[in-house]
């Protein structure tokens, strides 16, 4: 007899997939406090090129938004998604610069590094709007000619609240990040030469506390200096001017803005069922070692499904059954289904490339 999947289980699975998969809406299925809010989901994608400096260093660094408590603040605050003017969450190396490390906390752009502004994602947001950053996903691949590509790249994502508070991905180099414990910062080092053109490298931070899931009021104007970096790709030993391309997606969940739009539930989907943090935490813990990888982008949904499989085989079996059937299987939107079909074989979580057993 087929086991039925609950709405809570489906919403948890969709959230986990959204953490690691671009272009997938990502609501947090956890209600914090004694209120329930109708929310919309948004995502903004930054595409660009990072250039190696005369020190052989190229980087793209994405700061967390609302996961870090600023000095003197009582709670975590959204830093970059402003309801009037957005801040600058993304930093990267410019052509002709001399960068040797990632930007420090509080630094401004200069001749070595550029920054990108977060737009106002919805004109209906105002001083009463709340939101949270639900996911940040970084993807990169070499853009220089294969015959001249050299050096190594390190992808890293925060694994703990301590590493965020310490700002270890700020003022950091390839070698300093590679020396960190994996429980502190998840990282993966790879040569850039002879890169498999079918693969991209990916990294995403995984929430590690309730503070990462709290929904906060939007600031009027976002922070314009570099914040605490949550995910980064940084090189070593590249030729001056060597390039790599990056794609960084920020996902947000906000309270439904003031608007003349009707039928929000039909357009955006209903609010996900509440899931206790205790239920969600084991899945998040299993996602952390898999938060950096090198594989075809189509296999990314399998990362979340692999975490569920390791955590709760019974739930994984129910998801697999639902994803291949009608009814609630269709409610999963095909994302969970594609994840189940592309579960990667994870060989050596602490290093090496992640290979997939699926084509």
- 3-state class (DSSP) for residue 145: coil
Cα pseudo-dihedral 335, 341, 347, 352, rounded to 10: -50
pLDDT of residue 268: 45
Q: How confident is the model at residue 1, as a pLDDT? A: 46
CA distance 170 to 229: 6
In sequence order, the 6+-apart residues with CB closer than 8 A to the CB of 237 are: 56, 150, 151, 152
Exposed / middle / buried, residue 34 (Cβ in 10 Å: 0-12, 13-18, 19+): exposed
pLDDT tens digits, 40-69: 889 999 999 999 999 999 999 999 999 877
Written as six digits, the tokens of 312 are 């709760």
Does residue 8 surpass a pLDDT of 70?
yes
Model confidence pTM above 0.95: no
Residue 152's closest CA among 233, 245, 236? Answer: 236
What is the pLDDT, as a whole number, of residue 38?
78
Dihedral sign (CA 37, 162, 229, 204) = negative
Task: Count how many Cα atoms sit within 13 Å of the Cα of residue 131 in the half-sphere of its side chain.
Answer: 32
Class of domain 37-261: mainly beta
C-alpha to C-alpha distance for 310 and 50, rounded to whole angstroms: 36
Q: How confident is the model at residue 76 (pLDDT cuts 50, 70, 90)?
A: low
DSSP state of 124: T
* Rounded distance between C-alpha atoms, residue 322 and residue 336, angstroms: 9
Alpha carbons 307 and 16: distance in angstroms, whole number? 9
Which of 251, 212, 188 minimizes the C-alpha distance to 39? Answer: 251
Report the run of H or E that residue 165 belongs to, with start and end: helix 161-166
Cβ-based neighbours of 185, under 8 Å, separated by 6 or more: 156, 157, 158, 159, 160, 163, 168, 169, 177
- Write down the pLDDT at residue 327: 53
For the chain, the domains span: 1-36+271-352, 37-261
CA distance 180 to 347: 20
pLDDT tens-digit series, residues 221-274: 999 999 999 999 999 999 999 999 999 999 999 987 766 655 555 444 566 778
**What is the predicted pLDDT for the residue at 145?**
87
208 vs 347, residue with greater confidence: 208
pLDDT tens track for 122-144 = 888 888 889 999 999 999 999 98
């Amino acid at each position: 007899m087929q086991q039925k999947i609950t709405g809570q289980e489906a919403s948890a699975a969709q959230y986990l997939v959204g953490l690691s998969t671009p272009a997938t809406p990502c609501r947090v299925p956890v209600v914090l406090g004694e209120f329930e809010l109708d929310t919309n989901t948004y995502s903004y994608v930054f595409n660009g090129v990072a250039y190696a400096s005369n020190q052989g260093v190229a980087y793209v660094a994405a700061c967390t938004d609302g996961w870090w408590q600023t000095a003197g603040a009582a709670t975590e605050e959204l830093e970059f998604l402003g309801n009037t003017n957005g801040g600058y969450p993304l930093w990267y190396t410019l052509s002709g610069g001399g960068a040797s490390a990632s930007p420090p906390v509080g630094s401004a752009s200069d001749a070595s590094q550029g920054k990108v502004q977060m737009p106002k994602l919805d004109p209906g947001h105002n001083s009463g709007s709340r939101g949270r950053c639900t996911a940040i996903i970084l993807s990169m691949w070499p853009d220089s000619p294969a015959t001249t590509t050299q050096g190594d790249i390190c992808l890293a994502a925060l694994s703990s609240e301590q590493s965020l508070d310490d700002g270890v991905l700020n003022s950091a180099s390839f070698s300093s990040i590679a020396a960190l414990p994996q429980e502190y910062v998840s990282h993966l080092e790879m040569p850039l030469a002879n890169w498999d053109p079918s693969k991209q490298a990916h990294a995403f931070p995984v929430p590690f506390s309730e503070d990462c899931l709290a929904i906060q009021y939007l600031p009027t104007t976002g922070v314009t200096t570099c914040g605490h970096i949550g995910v980064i790709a940084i090189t070593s030993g590249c030729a001056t001017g060597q390039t790599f391309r990056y794609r960084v997606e920020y996902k947000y969940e906000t309270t439904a803005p003031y608007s003349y739009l009707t039928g929000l539930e039909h357009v955006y989907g209903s609010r996900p069922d509440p899931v206790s943090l205790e239920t969600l935490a084991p899945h998040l813990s299993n996602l952390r070692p898999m938060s950096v990888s090198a594989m075809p982008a189509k296999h990314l949904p399998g990362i979340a499904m692999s975490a569920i499989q390791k955590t709760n085989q019974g739930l994984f079996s129910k998801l697999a059954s639902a994803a291949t059937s009608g009814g609630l299987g269709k409610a999963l939107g095909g994302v969970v289904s594609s994840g189940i079909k592309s579960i990667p074989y994870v060989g050596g979580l602490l290093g090496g490339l992640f290979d997939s057993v699926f084509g």
